[in-house]
Amino acid sequence: MLRKVIPRQQLATWLENSCRQQSTAVPFAAAASTVAHREVPKIAWTQDKAHEIQEQLLEAEEPAVLTGALTRWPLLKWTWKDLRKLGDVVVPMEISWHGSDYRDLFRTHTSMTDPEPPQLKKYETDVELPLFYLLDHITQKEEGKNSASPAAGRGKAVKMYLAQKDIKDVLPQLQQELAPLPLQEAQTRLYRQSVWLGPQGTVTPLHRDPYSNLFAQILGAKRIQLVHPSQTGMVQPFASPLVLRNTSEIDMEEVDARCAEDGGGGDVRPWEVTLRPGEMLYIPKSWWHHIHAVEPSFSVSCWWP
């Protein structure tokens, strides 16, 4: 349900006042990751190998990056500038303050290592705004941030994210640009293609979906960590409420920071990849995934049951 429309001239004030206090802008620790990640393998996709690759992926049920699989998508030619052609389209956005995410809708406290007090962690969904607000927000430069760092962009106080919305509902103009899919199985059983468009530093916390996913990176880069379903006990899923049972209480960014401090350790051994434009990541059904945009980013997920 869409419920807020904020005129453009009032946006800056609204964003500022929507948190009870100003941030002291404590940056998230820019710790280099020393967790023993396993690198997600890459497979060069070609039409003549499509069947063989599909068999291999569906049999192994392990993540893999397909390179060369998106060359037939017209969307891959779109630039940030091209997206401005759709600037007047009104879309529902998530807005988060100080690194909050949907888990904060249900939390009464934040974790011990969180630099922000709980009253600053505010999160809104379905705020209806024209796309160019978001594009302006995405292209604003952040001072002193190193995009190679796992914590890149994390310090920015306000983040807008057009996240997990069905592309045919929010940007139907792009629907013709997202085909074909490189796996026949995904093409025939496709349930939904969702848009993820946001600034550097957006984080989708560790969670899992009841769908297989071909996750297409169109613009910018995302660091993705994946955890095998057999490690579900270790990632501490929320026991309640029901809607959070697919989400972990663990903050993967903190896991990285802790491991950097104590020289490794921790039980969860994620797979990892930094996904770049033109690459597509196969995320098998029920695999946990945590996604951090290390650059301004535009991605499309393609789910099938």
Q: Is 213 a binder of ligand AKG (CB under 6 A)? A: yes
Of 248, 16, 244, 231, give the one whose Cα is nearest residue 111. 248
Does 215 participate in binding ligand AKG (rule CB under 6 A)? yes
Token output for 281? 């990541």
**Least distance in angstroms from the C-beta of 288 to ligand AKG:** 10
DSSP 41: P
Identity of the residue, 118 or 238, whose beta carbon is nearer to ligand AKG in the bound complex: 238
Residue of 280, 266, 176 whose CA lies nearest to 222: 280
Stretch that binds ligand AKG, among 57-65, 122-130, 202-210, 231-239 (CB under 6 A): 202-210
Site for ligand AKG contains 299 (CB under 6 A): yes
Instruction: Give the largest CA-CA distance in the chain.
Output: 58
CB closer to ligand AKG, 118 vs 277: 277
Q: Which window, 103-111, 151-159, 208-216, 254-262, contacts ligand AKG (CB under 6 A)? A: 208-216
- Answer for the pair 29, 257: CB distance below 8 angstroms, yes or no: yes
Q: Does 247 bind ligand AKG (CB under 6 A)?
A: no
Asked if 25 contacts 157 with a C-beta cutoff of 8 angstroms, the reply is yes
Q: How far is the CB of 207 from ligand AKG (least distance, A)?
A: 7
264: left (phi over 0), alpha (psi -120 to 50) or beta: left
Q: Does 282 bind ligand AKG (CB under 6 A)?
A: no
Stretch of residues binding ligand AKG (CB under 6 A), selected from 79-87, 185-193, 201-209, 230-238: 201-209
Q: Under 8 Å CB-to-CB from 209, ≥6 apart: which residues?
A: 246, 285, 286, 303
**Interaction between residue 206 and ligand AKG (CB under 6 A):** no
Cβ at position 101, least distance to ligand AKG in Å: 10
Cβ 209 to ligand AKG shortest distance, Å: 5
Q: Is 100 in the site for ligand AKG (CB under 6 A)?
A: no
**Interface stretch with ligand AKG, choices 35-43, 64-72, 114-122, 207-215 (CB under 6 A):** 207-215
Beta strands per DSSP E along the chain: 4-5, 38-39, 42-44, 64-67, 90-97, 122-130, 158-166, 192-198, 203-207, 212-219, 222-227, 271-275, 280-283, 288-293, 297-304
Give the binding site for ligand AKG (CB under 6 A). 196, 202, 204, 209, 213, 215, 289, 291, 299, 301
